[in-house]
Structures are given as C-alpha cells and as structure tokens.
C-alpha cells in the first residue's frame, strides 16, 4: 500500500502564494498519474490539476489555469502544486491522489479514477 502525505498548507492573504507537496511512500515511477483535488465547505471534491508521471503532461481546471502549476520530482517521490495569485475562493481542503494502473487522468473525470488518497490539508485565503 502506497501512502500519500500532503504538506505546505497555510493561511495566506489574497494575492499570496503557497506550494503544496505530496510525498509518496513508494517509487513515484510505479504510478500512472497523480492529481490535486480540493473540497470547499459543503461542496463536492473537485479536480484542480493532474499530471502524468511518465511524461509530465498536465491538465488544469479552468478556475486555476494560469495561477496554479502542478509538477513532480520522481527522484524525490514527490508531487507539487505551486499556487499563485490566491483568491478567497481557493480556500478548501486540498487532497493529493494517485492512479496506479493508467496515466489517463483528465481533470474533469473527477475522483473515480484514483485509488490512493492523502489525508488532506487546509488552505485558507483571507484578509
């Protein structure tokens, strides 16, 4: 069983930046793709960004395009989410997720593709 652990969350002011990390307990190269999801209060979990472990191709939700960047470092078994120009509506619990058997992970497909999940970490954007 591969465990995923998120870190880097904090409270920031609007316009600020944060970098989230997701550390996997096993070799990242054994995974097909990974993703960041978020869940706002009383809302369903939504996809934010996805990345293929094999070739690094990415996908983003429209709400974060141009502001967020997903990346991975296979040597460190870590995935990242660089978040810039943060807005109050980015406030949510952020989860990392991994799909083992395939690198087909369109961001709009939602949570059903992913077998592995982190515990979530709170990001708050407020003045």
Query: Per-residue pLDDT tens for 18-55?
Result: 999 999 998 888 899 999 999 999 999 999 999 999 99
Tokens 């609007």 identify what position? 14
Give the C-alpha separation, 127 to 108, whole Å. Answer: 30
Q: In a 3-state reduction of DSSP, which class is residue 56?
A: coil
At residue 109, the pLDDT reads 87
Query: Per-residue pLDDT tens for 58-85?
Result: 999 999 999 999 999 999 999 999 999 9
Q: In a 3-state reduction of DSSP, which class is residue 86?
A: coil
Residue 110 pLDDT grade (very low, low, confident, very high; cuts 50, 70, 90):
confident
Burial label for 117, CB within 10 Å (0-12, 13-18, 19+), is: middle
How many CA atoms, within 13 angstroms, populate the side-chain half-sphere of residue 84?
7
């Amino acid at each position: 069983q591969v465990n995923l652990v998120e870190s880097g969350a904090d409270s920031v002011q609007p316009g600020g930046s944060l970098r989230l990390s997701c550390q996997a307990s096993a070799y990242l190269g054994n995974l097909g793709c990974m993703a960041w999801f978020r869940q706002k209060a009383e809302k369903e979990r939504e996809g934010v960004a996805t990345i293929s472990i094999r070739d690094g191709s990415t996908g983003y939700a429209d709400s974060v395009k141009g502001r967020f960047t997903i990346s991975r470092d296979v040597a460190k078994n870590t995935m990242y989410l660089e978040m810039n120009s943060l807005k109050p509506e980015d406030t949510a619990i952020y989860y990392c997720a991994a799909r083992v058997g395939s690198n087909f992970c369109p961001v709009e497909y939602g949570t059903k593709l992913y077998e592995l999940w982190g515990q979530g970490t709170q990001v708050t954007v407020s003045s």
